[in-house]
Structure 1
Amino acid sequence: MGADEVLAAAQLIVRARQERTPLAALPPHLQPQDEAAGYEIQHEVHWLLAEHAGDFAGYKIGCTSKVMQDYLRIPHPCAGGVFARGVHQSGAALRAADFVRVGVECEIAVRLAQDLLPLDAPFTIERVADAIGDCHPAIEIVDDRYVQWETLGAPTLVADDFFAAGCVLGPAVGRDAVADLAAIQGRALINDVLAGQGTGADVLGHPLHALAWLANHLASRGDGLEAGQLVLTGSLVKTIWLEPGDRVRMELDGLGTVEARFE
């Protein structure tokens, strides 16, 4: 795709997000034909969203568990952006009407204390583990902002940040205080009813594999992760779609609890 087509596709995506209008298939000449083109459009989307969404805060990684890969019919991870105005603290009361169709996922989030820059690639799980400062129990907020996501294809979903709509973070826990991210048991409760459960090992075998994948993916594009950025490593459970008034609580053993309401 040429630069003009990338920009035009990004403008259509951003307009749909800002107006909360379900995104239909892009015009044929603006549709990314592969995920590399999708990420080119995503990069432009991030520039266009900056004024509306606040500073770039980090990344979410999607399709990191078998349950999510089966659900989305995409057999590999995908990345999207997270912006400052979409990051909330536990106990947040959010408006369901601010989303097209809001959903939540149970996640282990990490905040980096060190840069992971392209010149240092390739990255191993040991290297990315050393870069983590804090961990958080997290609710990833996702938005089905599509006319029919099943027919859009992975490249267009990637271009639109792969359902990303923000997150709610529980209290920070120092990386050294968390024995093993893979062993963490997570539970998603909606209105105090168990709606899903899983473990850190469900995320590509270990959340650190997801973080290493992201660092290497960005490095392949000449980008990197910076100290202070947040990474949502992937859902332990299948996406849960909400109704107005729902109360959400994610419990991650050894990491903590995070809660939110969608009014």
Structure 2
Amino acid sequence: MNRITAAADYLMGLRRGRRQVPHLPEEIAPRNLQEGYQVQNAFVGRLLAWHGGKTCGYKIACTSRVAQEALGVSTPLFGRLLTATSYASGITLPADDFLVRCAEVEFGFLLGEDLPPDRDYTVESIRPWVAAVVPALEIVDHRFVDWQKVGAATLAADNAIHGAWISGPPVTDWHRFDLAQQATALIVNSQRCFPGSGAAVLGHPLAALAWLANELPRYGLSLRAGDYVSTGLTTAIYLAQPGDHLRGDFGPLGQVEVRFTS
């Protein structure tokens, strides 16, 4: 068994057992980002075998200063969205399915066409490939006690610490909105409010999408028609508690809601 396979098996054991560790064992921890994504690919295969379903797009982590400081990294990371852990707005999720429940209000995109992998995408040039904007909540979950110390490669290996994705109704006439200036908010139990905006995401949510489109070909991947992409945190981080009701508010672009069992 090589170190990539061993790391994927180890992460799967942590996921199944709902356990956390300080870090991956040194002998199997990915030594660089390339190895981290190799482990991620193997780990996602194991998640699909366990949950069923298929991949349905990508999540991008560490696209805001808040997220990068919280995780101790200086570059965005990507992970895979899975149909088995992607839900429509209004879902109630078992709180015990997660170790952390870190809630993030994120701009999602639905792609209308395959993106040619041999282009240098920008905020402007990637617009025609976007079929819809999707208001979304990501629930980050991870297996590490010292999550701020494990580093980018290990975070990438753990599918960029993705737990679940909840999406609201897609908005197809999104072009008339300035996504960078669009206000967002995470509203907890109709009381606490954490404000944000699209500018928190690399300056513009489409900048995160362009980053992903440019990054994926380095790993033999590309964006396809029908893929969803969640672009990262727009507000402060909130660790949801059992019984919480969370609402992501995107103003005229809609809302998305999730509740956790007590």
Q: What's the TM-score once normalised by structure 2's chain length?
A: 0.94
The residue number in structure 1 matching 2:32 is 34
Could you list the per-position Cα deviations for residues 222-241 of structure 1 after superposition, in whole angstroms to 9, with x for gaps in the alignment? 21011101100111012210
The residue number in structure 2 matching 1:18 is 16
The residue number in structure 2 matching 1:144 is 142
The residue number in structure 2 matching 1:157 is 155
CA distance in structure 1 between the partners assigned to 2:184 and 2:243 by the alignment: 23
CA distance in structure 1 between the partners assigned to 2:142 and 2:176 by the alignment: 33
CA distance in structure 1 between the partners assigned to 2:10 and 2:164 by the alignment: 20
Distance change in 2, residues 1:246/1:9 (3 Å):
same
Could you list the per-position Cα deviations for residues 134-172 of structure 1 after superposition, in whole angstroms to 9, with x for gaps in the alignment? 111111111133222123222111100122112111111
Aligned partners of 1:45 and 1:159 also within 8 Å:
yes
1:202-241 superposed matches below 5 A: 202-241=200-239
1:43-192 superposed matches below 5 A: 43-53=41-51, 54-118=53-117, 120-176=118-174, 178-192=176-190
Distance change in 2, residues 1:43/1:25 (3 Å):
same
Question: How far did 1:254 drift?
Answer: 2.1
Q: What's the TM-score once normalised by structure 1's chain length?
A: 0.94
Question: How far did 1:194 drift?
Answer: 3.0
Aligned partners of 2:142 and 2:162 also within 8 Å:
no
Question: How far did 1:121 drift?
Answer: 2.6
Please give the secondary structure, in 2, of the residue aligned with 1:162: helix
CA distance in structure 2 between the partners assigned to 1:34 and 1:175 by the alignment: 41
Distance change in 2, residues 1:148/1:32 (3 Å):
same
Aligned partners of 2:106 and 2:136 also within 8 Å:
yes
CA distance in structure 2 between the partners assigned to 1:208 and 1:127 by the alignment: 10
Quick one: which amino acid aligns to residue 98 of structure 2? Answer: F
The residue number in structure 2 matching 1:198 is 196
Distance change in 2, residues 1:194/1:232 (3 Å):
same
Question: How far did 1:219 drift?
Answer: 1.1
* Moved segments of 4+, more than 4 Å: 175-178
Aligned partners of 1:124 and 1:212 also within 8 Å:
yes
Quick one: which amino acid aligns to residue 85 of structure 1? Answer: A
Mind listing any 5+ residue stretches in structure 1 that lack a counterpart? none
Could you list the per-position Cα deviations for residues 62-81 of structure 1 after superposition, in whole angstroms to 9, with x for gaps in the alignment? 11111222222212211111
Mind listing any 5+ residue stretches in structure 2 that lack a counterpart? none
Quick one: which amino acid aligns to residue 86 of structure 2? Answer: V
Aligned partners of 1:104 and 1:141 also within 8 Å:
yes
Please give the secondary structure, in 2, of the residue aligned with 1:15: helix
Quick one: which amino acid aligns to residue 193 of structure 1? Answer: Q
Aligned partners of 1:35 and 1:155 also within 8 Å:
yes
Q: Which range is displaced more, 197-206 or 15-24?
A: 15-24
CA distance in structure 1 between the partners assigned to 2:13 and 2:119 by the alignment: 35
CA distance in structure 1 between the partners assigned to 2:204 and 2:149 by the alignment: 30
Quick one: which amino acid aligns to residue 200 of structure 1? Answer: G
Please give the secondary structure, in 1, of the residue aligned with 2:252: coil
CA distance in structure 2 between the partners assigned to 1:117 and 1:12 by the alignment: 35
CA distance in structure 1 between the partners assigned to 2:176 and 2:15 by the alignment: 37
What percentage of aligned pairs have identical amino acids? 37
Aligned partners of 1:112 and 1:134 also within 8 Å:
yes
Number of residue-to-residue matches in the alignment: 260
Aligned partners of 1:71 and 1:238 also within 8 Å:
no
